[in-house]
Structure 1
Amino acid sequence: MRKVVISEFMDEAAIADELADFDTLYDPGLVDRPAALAAALAGADALIVRNRTQVRGALLDAARELKVVGRLGVGLDNIDVAACRDRGIAVYPATGANDGAVAEYVVATALLLLRGAYGATPRVAAGTWPRTALMGREIGGKRLGLLGFGAIARETARRAAALGMTVAAHDPFLAPGDPAWTPPSGPVARRDLDALIAGSDVLSLHVPLTDATSGLIGADALARMPPGAVLINAARGGIVDAAAVAASLRAGHLGGAALDVFDREPLDAEAGAVFTDVPNLILTPHIAGVTRESNVRVSAVTARAVRRHLTER
């Protein structure tokens, strides 16, 4: 019987529906027990992971029978794709299954950070009435810049346009004549990187972590953003200099920021100290693409891809 190891959380109904015919080990704590994970992979035909399991080096060496890796998400920076290809191991990301969840996160955090009124509960309950201090900004008419214009960014653009935002994007890999630039929700302006950074009231990142994008949004880029602009990163932590974001918020140049991803995950107290008492900052635990609904979709797509690969080959 084919063996499947699942090292991070997924929807258990998808396991029951798609992987019932396999010898399946579902232990979402394996990601934090490397020795146990390596032992579990002895003789395993398939491995299903999210973003924390590092499918490379010693882990791949321990999985000599591995035939397929299912990725509960779309980013592949935790998987040595080249090494998998060399060994004939197929890699299946859950393309498209969490696009809407990330798009909603981007738009919701932009609304929250621009308006700025939603942290007032303790003060209002205590009898203060800080109306003038909480006079925020509307999202309608604001300029949304999308760094990268793949599927998630396009879903974000559609939602933003419905709220009256103007939308621009930078994506050097998308041809000028591609129909993605003229969706039914309205045209998306094509910008070079510097123009996008300098002309966005809300800048949202939608690129993978590569040598070219590592550290792309640092102190210099933040300084070129308009005063009061909002930065949202639900892509990968290494794209942004988190300390520079904290410094810009403290200095009052950035008007807000939402960071869902970090260089090191989970973020520990030492690394998180840079964010202490930083104003108008939202930190979330790599959750932008994970909702109850998207977890069901991502899990089903991934489990189905793994089952198909193991049964059709």
Structure 2
Amino acid sequence: MMEKTHSPRTVVIAQWQAIEAFHQALTTPATDLIAPTARHEDVVPLLPGADVIVTGTFTRAMANAADSLRLIQTPGAGVNGIDFAALSKQTTVCNVYGHERGIAEYIFTTMAMLNRDYLGMDRRLRAGDWRDHLGMPLPELQGKTIVIVGLGRIGAETARWARFMEMNVIGVARNPAPGSARTSGIDRIAGIESLRSVLPEADFVALSVPLTPETTGLIGPDELAAMKPNAYLINVARGEVVDEAALYTALRDRTIAGAAIDTWYRYPVDDQPTPPSAYPFHELSNVVMTPHIAGATENTFFYRWATINENLRRLWDGEPLRNPVIRPE
């Protein structure tokens, strides 16, 4: 049982996802302070005396200013923006989920787009190049093999969709339990150390691992070279899970057939136009590019707002919090 938090109760909102709608959705009795951006100069002055901050980024400078912070509530699942080493022992970090169905829908939407070359069809029709109204028979997802790297909530939901589509499903996990493939309905689960050996079997590789020191650069030149030349990569994890230069080169040289990329290497600051990479992915015709929106669905937001509200209520009432994150050692 946590100790009850008494008035005044202050929540600092410094998150980037639909901030006004989120603020309106808050129902807990608290003083809400909205930071116009997540930059230090906008957030740090609001932190003295605050009980909670809702944010995906928390730095040492913020920690130094937060003298009574009880909860860092992230607006999403990822916690790679939190400096855990800077936190006091009284501060708990919690995350939220609810995005797995929307992201699985994104994965299958982009797989179909790539598998049937809808991008190429669209370009040719826009250019007035329509020659054969039937064309070649189009491939289906049924019978294809998907390798899902990371079997958390997103990976498990993706596997469920893949089974419905009658695909062959290979999972890759850090510590697969004996018999876990049978209980999850996945055809086979390999350890992360066996990733390179299963990649040649894949028609599609879906990445859904968190960004950690172990997963940074998980997909590099050797892994991309191990994939079939007609295979596709779908990244809904974090950009840095895939080596940036190696991915661009593999797509440019058609080492792999194509990719859908939702998570990137550069992100906007202060809503300024920002290229997502140092490499010209936008010049490649075999890439679906989206701005980190795979899980940004209405249902995801409603679920997350409800969960954050529930966690704030639990904090005020001294109850155990939902989704506490274990601090890295």
Q: What is the TM-score of this pair, normalised by structure 1? A: 0.88
**Partner of residue 23, structure 1:** 31
Residue 92 of structure 1 and its aligned partner are, at CA, apart by 1.3
Q: CA distance change for structure 1 residues 10 and 299 in 2, over 3 Å: closer, same or farther? A: farther
Query: 5+ unaligned residues in a row in structure 1: which ranges?
Result: none
Task: State the distance in 1 between where 2:310 and 2:131 align.
Answer: 52
**Partner of residue 229, structure 1:** 231
Residue 102 of structure 1 and its aligned partner are, at CA, apart by 1.2
Q: CA RMSD of the aligned region, Å?
A: 2.4
Task: State the distance in 1 between where 2:131 and 2:65 align.
Answer: 59
The answer to whether residue 61 in structure 2 is matched with residue 58 in structure 1 is: yes
The answer to whether residue 274 in structure 2 is matched with residue 268 in structure 1 is: yes
Q: CA distance change for structure 1 residues 182 and 88 in 2, over 3 Å: closer, same or farther? A: same
Task: State the distance in 1 between where 2:235 and 2:104 align.
Answer: 12
The answer to whether residue 41 in structure 2 is matched with residue 40 in structure 1 is: no
Provide the aligned length of Structure 1 versus Structure 2. Answer: 303
**Partner of residue 169, structure 1:** 171
Q: CA distance change for structure 1 residues 291 and 119 in 2, over 3 Å: closer, same or farther? A: farther
Task: State the distance in 1 between where 2:131 and 2:12 align.
Answer: 53
AA partner of residue 89 (structure 1): T
Task: State the distance in 1 between where 2:282 and 2:127 align.
Answer: 24
Question: The residue matched to 2:146 in structure 1 has which SS?
Answer: strand
Task: State the distance in 1 between where 2:18 and 2:222 align.
Answer: 39
Question: The residue matched to 1:231 in structure 2 has which SS?
Answer: strand
Question: The residue matched to 1:5 in structure 2 has which SS?
Answer: strand
Q: CA distance change for structure 1 residues 262 and 116 in 2, over 3 Å: closer, same or farther? A: same
The answer to whether residue 215 in structure 2 is matched with residue 213 in structure 1 is: yes
AA partner of residue 254 (structure 1): I
Query: 5+ unaligned residues in a row in structure 2: which ranges?
Result: 1-7, 320-329
Q: Report 1:86-165 matches (<5 A).
A: 86-95=88-97, 97-121=98-122, 123-129=124-130, 131=132, 136-165=138-167
AA partner of residue 230 (structure 1): Y
Q: Is the 8 A contact 1:249 1:279 kept in 2?
A: no
The answer to whether residue 78 in structure 2 is matched with residue 79 in structure 1 is: no
Residue by residue over 1:160-197, the C-alpha shift from the partner in whole angstroms, topping out at 9 and shown as x without a partner, is 1111211001113231223x6433xx433112312222
AA partner of residue 261 (structure 1): T
Q: Is the 8 A contact 1:114 1:256 kept in 2?
A: no
Q: CA distance change for structure 1 residues 310 and 182 in 2, over 3 Å: closer, same or farther? A: same
**Partner of residue 9, structure 2:** 2
Q: Is the 8 A contact 2:14 2:34 kept in 1?
A: yes
Q: Is the 8 A contact 1:169 1:196 kept in 2?
A: no
**Partner of residue 70, structure 2:** 67
Q: Is the 8 A contact 1:10 1:299 kept in 2?
A: no
Task: State the distance in 2 between where 1:243 and 1:253 align.
Answer: 13
**Partner of residue 326, structure 2:** none
Task: State the distance in 2 between where 1:10 and 1:309 align.
Answer: 23
AA partner of residue 21 (structure 1): P
Residue 115 of structure 1 and its aligned partner are, at CA, apart by 0.9
Q: Is the 8 A contact 2:145 2:204 kept in 1?
A: yes
Residue by residue over 1:232-286, the C-alpha shift from the partner in whole angstroms, topping out at 9 and shown as x without a partner, is 1111111101221121112122111011112332383383443141121012111
Question: The residue matched to 1:120 in structure 2 has which SS?
Answer: helix
Question: The residue matched to 2:283 in structure 1 has which SS?
Answer: coil
**Partner of residue 188, structure 1:** 187
Residue by residue over 1:103-134, the C-alpha shift from the partner in whole angstroms, topping out at 9 and shown as x without a partner, is 11111111111111245345425532155888
AA partner of residue 313 (structure 2): R
Q: Is the 8 A contact 1:18 1:304 kept in 2?
A: no
Task: State the distance in 2 between where 1:38 and 1:259 align.
Answer: 33
Q: CA distance change for structure 1 residues 270 and 89 in 2, over 3 Å: closer, same or farther? A: closer
